[in-house]
DNA sequence: GCTGTTATTAACAAGATTGTTAATTAAAGA
DNA sequence: TCTTTAATTAACAATCTTGTTAATAACAGC
């Protein structure tokens, strides 16, 4: 009947992950986490000492995954710029589909306690170095050669982020309406993925209208 | 030295608004709200009885404003479909610029307690009746006449919502990067507004690429 | 000025929540 | 086996949080 340390610790972490992700830091209660994990709540403090500590461990892991997903999505080097961009958007969307509450969690916690940005500074640098640098250079060349429309890299990335992330950030709400137009969540999300790539490529390749 | 009832009640509501909007329901504390309002915390319960009650009043008002802003933005009837759409997107963006933490607040509270959707059911019907109905009819005709590209109304609205809302939902984070490309927040937001209209119009008017 | 209503205060109560501690049990190594 | 370390438990403590209540003060109408 005895439970080994590593098992308890892991159980707590997993329960914490679910609780923090679904309720946020303030909404999560250590007692509830301990209960879900099947241990006394003293165990939680034994392993992690404070709620903040436990949270930070979860937060760090989640932001790490999120940053890594961006690098993975855009690291392919085969094909044209547009082809790679499309593949990247789709890969990132697929990642989000498997981690749908990640963006809302990270954004909320980052905003409610901005100091937490410290915990992912390194990862942000990774992404900036890995993606933004190369991307910017390539885009400048293509823009100069008139192969894609003029656009600042931050605007392109924000367009993609907005379109890819928003559906998931607001999914429980959006879901109420998608049912009128799509048979299933899956079909709806597939359509969103396609729509996002479509709209981004149109932005880059078609002639621009004065706005 | 005496403070009149209506003054206290209003002070509490205003303090509650700020506290709930910035910290969310769980993060907000009635004592803190009372302190900010400059009244004893018994006063808060005297006027609003429960935290939930006070919250609902704030929430109802905020969602009302949010829904109304959508109706106002898209109610103009002059000009072509594209012109009205562009004006609507810009008006909605301008509204958000003046209420930047509204979307995150509403989305979060709606998701953490889905029952709250009840509080805005009527307003949603207003918007659906006011916007979606007319829009859908008009779009179908334009699509049939090949004047705009084929797109489901929900996808168009989601594109607009994503692009318009995301910047504000994640503003405190995005802000850290916009500084490299834009001189001021204002300039950055102006660029985002333009970018959003640009990308939407391109989506509707330009030829589509196979994706 | 008297009366009834409304506003305000201070004190308290119940329960939740985070965290600690001392004692107990299990595990591991010599 | 004995000893040391790690894991676990139950009980407690401090603080926070929401909410109540009884007493007091302000006010409005008569």
What percentage of chain A exceeds 90 in pLDDT?
A: 85
Interface of A with B in 67-86 (CB under 8 A): 86
Answer whether B201 sits within 8 Å of A209, measured CB to CB.
Answer: yes
Whole-number Å distance between alpha carbons of A180 and A75: 37
The long-range contacts involving B116-121, CB below 8 angstroms and separated by at least 24 positions, are: B116/B56, B116/B59, B117/A173, B117/A176, B119/B56, B119/B59, B119/B60, B119/B63, B120/B60, B120/B63, B120/B64, B120/B67
Give all domains of chain A, ordered by start, each with its CATH number: 1-49 (1.10.10.60), 59-205 (1.10.357.10)
Interface of A with B in 81-140 (CB under 8 A): 86, 104, 107-108, 110-112, 114, 117
CB-nearest to A24 from B26, B172, B177 is: B26
Whole-number Å distance between alpha carbons of A111 and B173: 7
Nearest nucleotide to B7, CA against C1' atoms: C7
The pLDDT assigned to A181 comes to: 94
The residues of chain B scoring below 70 in pLDDT are 1-5, 211
Whole-number Å distance between alpha carbons of B211 and A7: 46
Q: Is the CB of A162 under 7 A from strand D?
A: no
Q: Which of B135, B178, B182 is nearest to B160 (CA)?
A: B135
What percentage of chain A exceeds 70 in pLDDT?
A: 97
The pLDDT assigned to B3 comes to: 34
pLDDT in tens, A99-157: 999 999 999 999 999 999 999 999 999 888 888 888 889 999 999 999 999 999 999 99
Element (H, E) at B32: helix B30-37
Rg (CA), chain A: 21
pLDDT in tens, B44-77: 999 999 999 999 999 999 999 999 999 999 988 8
Residue in the structure block whose two tokens are 């607009």: B160
Q: Is the CB of B26 under 7 A from strand D?
A: no
Whole-number Å distance between alpha carbons of B52 and B33: 13
Whole-number Å distance between alpha carbons of B184 and B181: 9
pLDDT in tens, B113-127: 999 999 999 999 988
The pLDDT assigned to A208 comes to: 79
CB–CB of A160/A196 below 8 Å? yes
Question: Residue B6, exposed/middle/buried by CB under 10 A (0-12, 13-18, 19+)?
Answer: exposed
CB-nearest to B26 from A26, A117, A203 is: A26
pLDDT in tens, A23-51: 999 999 999 999 999 999 999 999 999 99
């Amino acid at each position: 009947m005895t439970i080994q340390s590593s098992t308890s610790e892991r159980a707590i972490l997993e329960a914490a992950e679910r609780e923090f992700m679904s309720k946020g830091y303030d909404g999560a209660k250590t007692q509830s986490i301990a209960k879900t994990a099947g241990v006394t709540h003293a165990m939680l403090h034994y392993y992690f000492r404070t709620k903040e500590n436990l949270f930070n461990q979860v937060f760090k892991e989640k932001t790490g995954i999120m940053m890594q997903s961006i690098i993975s999505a855009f690291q392919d080097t085969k094909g044209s710029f547009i082809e790679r961009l499309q593949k990247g958007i789709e890969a990132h969307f697929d990642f989000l589909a498997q981690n749908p509450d990640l963006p809302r969690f990270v954004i909320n916690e980052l905003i409610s306690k901005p100091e937490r940005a410290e915990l992912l500074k390194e990862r942000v640098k990774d992404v900036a170095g890995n993606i933004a640098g190369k991307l910017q250079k390539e885009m400048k060349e293509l823009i100069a050669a008139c192969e894609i429309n003029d656009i600042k890299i931050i605007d392109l990335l924000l367009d993609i982020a907005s379109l890819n992330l928003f559906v998931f950030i607001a999914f429980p709400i959006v879901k109420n309406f998608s049912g009128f137009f799509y048979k299933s969540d899956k079909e709806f999300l597939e359509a969103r993925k396609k729509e996002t790539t479509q709209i981004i490529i149109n932005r880059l390749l078609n002639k621009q209208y004065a706005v």
